[in-house]
Amino acid sequence: MQRLSVQDLPAELARLATTGPAPLLLDVREPWETALARLELPHAALKCLPMREIPSRLAELDPQRPILCLCHHGMRSLQVAMFLESHGYPHAYNIEGGIDAWSRDVDPAVPRY
């Protein structure tokens, strides 16, 4: 499992988009959280899938595609990235600090909650 800072995320998405399947930004927060603050970035498809649903919906995720996991502060996404890696997803990433770090350090237009 690889880790990404929010500052490195845009460049890494652009790099990954040129090396194989388009990256998937996997937002593992609850629906009410994604309604408050949403992150859509160039070079990545967005999929909102709450952490609790990952095991039952694992077949929806392509193990050959880079999957960049995002949550509020980076803890749920870390757990999901580790889970994915342990289930044969070699290109799982955790976005450290989550959307809160993105709002604080990269784009203050994204609401904090």
Average pLDDT on 57-80 reads 97
* Position 17 pLDDT exceeds 90: no
Output the pLDDT for position 91: 95
- Whole-prediction pTM value? 0.95
* Position 96 pLDDT exceeds 90: yes
3-class DSSP state for residue 14? helix
Q: Pick the catalytic residue from 71, 80, 84, 92.
A: 71
* Domains, in order of start, for the chain: 2-105 (3.40.250.10)
Output the pLDDT for position 10: 94
Q: Report the candidate in 103, 105, 113, 104 with the shortest Cα–Cα distance to residue 39.
A: 103
Tens-place pLDDT, residues 22-65: 899 999 999 999 999 999 899 999 999 999 999 999 999 999 99
Average pLDDT on 14-25 reads 90
Output the pLDDT for position 35: 96
Q: Is 69 a catalytic residue?
A: no
Interior angle at CA 100, CA 37 and CA 42, nearest 5: 60
Answer for the pair 68, 6: CB distance below 8 angstroms, yes or no.
Answer: no
